[in-house]
Structure 1
Amino acid sequence: MDVFDILDRLVAFPSVAGKPNNDITGWIETHLAEHGTKVTVLPGPEDDRFNLFATIGPTDVPGYILSGHMDVVPAGEPQWSSAPFTLRRDGERLYGRGTTDMKGFLAATLAAVPMLAGLRLARPIHLAFSYDEEVGCRGVPHLIARLPELCAKPLGVIVGEPSGMRAVRGHKGKAAARVIIKGRSGHSSRPDHGLNAIHAMSEALSAAVSEAERLTRGPFNSAFEPAYSSLQAGVIAGGQSVNIIPDSCTLDLEARAIPGVDPASLLAPIRARAEALETDGFTVEWMAMSAYPALSLPQEAALAGLLRELTGEAPLAAVSYGTEAGLYQAAGFDAIICGPGDIDRAHKPDEYILTSELAACQRLIEALGARCAA
């Protein structure tokens, strides 16, 4: 199978984050096994979702991990011009959910396996495919925890998120949380008999706005746009009718932090303001939704030098979106981003990848294999 056949099969699996993924995992496992690749399927605690780890070459020698996620975001937008889970080719464009984010990278990696398997690799190349990246990088921590028993400590991890095949050394960290405030309902004509949860939530919302403004004053890191950490309230919901005192209100928040700043710490002032409302009779629930650390690979790192040689371009300092690379680095492994496609095409109707981008990615992986065989 060539890269286009593989991508066609991968896109056909509607592997939406948060759903069972045994179908796509099983297909990849079978495909790899056909080429004599050692494959380990790793069940997550959900019991219906799986990570996959495969090795080409020796397991007891340090090598490189090619990392990607098998899940995609939903494709319910009405603006799709064709079925999102059916690959459609139009010239150089290949349309379908996940083509860019990031089944294109998975396809290029799997297409390179026969060539890699035919080499006598002195250093291994590992494939690490995760689940539920799109809902907060929930699957990959379980995979990372198993790495010591699966392989020697890797020399580096290449995370194939769409970067136009330009290596990237950094990204911000992120934390998201939900605060739920519960009061007491009643008729709006007697506000003294109820506890208005929306009014109470205004305290937490005000704290979020104040913290967001404060962060614009630094600290700064010029590699990022914007150059400072940020915070926003993204979703707020509550109430039933204008003449009913709302007894519940929910607020979703996220913080994005430059390297050196814990993203969860940026949400702490909002949590403190919300929980203080309990003294007024409200019930407050704080739920961490997702979190991953920033990535900051030094310019002089050997992995950055390797990607400079393989791509012919110096790695970019940073991008605005986040990836699983920060989690690999937090676990003690050098990590870098490099993959086909453009992040601006992701999470949109008519997502697509270019045939030339797939070819470039497969060439890079095969060139990495040639290095490992030297």
Structure 2
Amino acid sequence: MQAIEILERLVGFPSVVGTPNGEIVGWIRHYLQNHGIAITELRGPEGDRSNLFATIGPREMPGYILSGHMDVVPAAEDGWSSDPFRLRAEAGRLYGRGTTDMKGFLAVMLAAVPALAAAQLGRPIHLAFSYDEEAGCRGVPHMIARLPELCAHPLGAIIGEPSGMQAIRAHKGKAAARLTIRGRSGHSSRPDQGLNAIHAMTDVLACAGAEAERLSKGPFEHVFEPPYSSLQVGTLKGGQAVNIIPETCEAEFEARAISAIDPATLLTPLRAVAEALPRRGFEVEWRELSAYPALSLAAEAPLARLLEELTGVEPLDAVSYGTEAGLFQRAGIDAIICGPGDIARAHKPDEFIIADELLACQAMVEALARHCIR
């Protein structure tokens, strides 16, 4: 099967983040098994979704991982010109949810399987398919934890997020959390008999604003835009009516960190303010939603030099969005981002990838195979 035909199949699976992914997992597993590929399905703790890991070549030798996520963001927003879960081709563009982010890369991986299987690789190429990346990289840590039993320690991992086929060496880390404050409801004419949860939340919101301002003063890492860590309030919910004391207020916070900083630590001051509220009678629940580390691969690293050789383009220093690459690096595996498409097309109506971008990615995978034969 060619990459476009496989992409059509993959787009047809509405594998929205946070939902069961058995259909797309089953199709990929069946495809790989039909080509005689050794594959392991790694069921996550949720019980209804899985990662997949496949090896082509000698698993006892150090090799390379091609990695991508099977999940996509929802496609319920207005503006789609056609069914988002049905591939539409027009003037060289291939439209559909996930075409760029990042089923296009998965399609190229799978289209390359027959050639890789016939190549008699001296070093293996592993194919890694993860779930729930769009919820903060929740699936891939379970797969990374199992790698020691699945293969020799890899020489590197190529994460195929859309990068215009220019490798990327670094990105920021991220942490997100949800805070729920519960007070006591009542009529607004008797505030003395209630506990206003929104008023209590303002203490935490003020802390968030102050921390965001403080972070903008540095430290700096000038490969990023902006060159400093950041923090924001992303959502805020509370109250029923203007004359009812709000019993509950909920906010979600996000921090993005330059490579020298653990992103989770940026939320610590907010949590400290929240955890002081029970002394005033409020109930507080702090829930970590996601966390992944920054990626920072040295320009002189063998993997960076290899990607320049494979693509013919010097790697880009950094981007500000995040990927699963930092989790591979934290596990001691050099990682880099390189994939077809443009991140600017992701997470919006009429997402598309260009057919020629798939061809460029295919050329990179073929070049990697030649490297592994040497």
The TM-score with structure 2 as length reference comes to 0.99
Distance 1:274 1:335 in 2: 36
Supply the RMSD in Å over aligned alpha carbons: 0.5
Matched, 1:234 2:252: no
1:204-234 superposed Cα distances (whole Å, 9 cap, x missing partner) = 0000000000000000000000000000000
Residue aligning to 2:99 = 99
Distance 1:208 1:173 in 2: 18
Distance 2:292 2:91 in 1: 38
1:48-91 superposed Cα distances (whole Å, 9 cap, x missing partner) = 10100000000000000000000000000121000000000001
Residue aligning to 1:126 = 126
Matched, 1:73 2:73: yes
Distance 1:136 1:310 in 2: 29
1:297-351 superposed Cα distances (whole Å, 9 cap, x missing partner) = 0111000000011111111110111000000000110000000000000000000
Residue aligning to 1:274 = 274
Secondary structure, aligned partner of 1:362: helix
Distance 1:306 1:78 in 2: 42
Matched, 1:57 2:60: no
1:183-223 superposed Cα distances (whole Å, 9 cap, x missing partner) = 10000000011000001100000000000000000000000
Residue aligning to 1:148 = 148
Q: What does residue range 110-121 of structure 1 map to in structure 2 within 5 Å?
A: 110-121=110-121
Q: What does residue range 309-348 of structure 1 map to in structure 2 within 5 Å?
A: 309-348=309-348
**Structure 2 residue runs without a partner (length 5+):** none
Counterpart residue identity of residue 141, structure 2: P
Distance 2:129 2:114 in 1: 18
Q: What does residue range 22-61 of structure 1 map to in structure 2 within 5 Å?
A: 22-61=22-61
Residue aligning to 2:176 = 176
Residue aligning to 1:3 = 3
Residue aligning to 1:216 = 216
Matched, 1:225 2:225: yes
What's the offset of the Cα at 1:32?
1.0
Residue aligning to 2:291 = 291
Distance 2:283 2:332 in 1: 40
What's the offset of the Cα at 1:352?
0.2
Distance 1:23 1:141 in 2: 21
Secondary structure, aligned partner of 1:164: coil
1:237-280 superposed Cα distances (whole Å, 9 cap, x missing partner) = 00000000001000100000000101010000011111111111
Q: Where in structure 1 do 4 or more consecutive aligned residues deviate above 3 Å?
A: none
Residue aligning to 2:202 = 202
Secondary structure, aligned partner of 1:367: helix
Counterpart residue identity of residue 338, structure 2: C
Residue aligning to 2:250 = 250
Counterpart residue identity of residue 269, structure 2: P
1:91-113 superposed Cα distances (whole Å, 9 cap, x missing partner) = 11000000000000000111111
**Structure 1 residue runs without a partner (length 5+):** none
What's the offset of the Cα at 1:172?
0.2
Residue aligning to 2:160 = 160
Counterpart residue identity of residue 365, structure 2: I
The TM-score with structure 1 as length reference comes to 0.99
Counterpart residue identity of residue 344, structure 2: D
Distance 1:230 1:46 in 2: 31
Distance 2:363 2:31 in 1: 20
Counterpart residue identity of residue 163, structure 1: S
Distance 1:312 1:157 in 2: 18
What's the offset of the Cα at 1:151?
0.3
What's the offset of the Cα at 1:47?
1.0
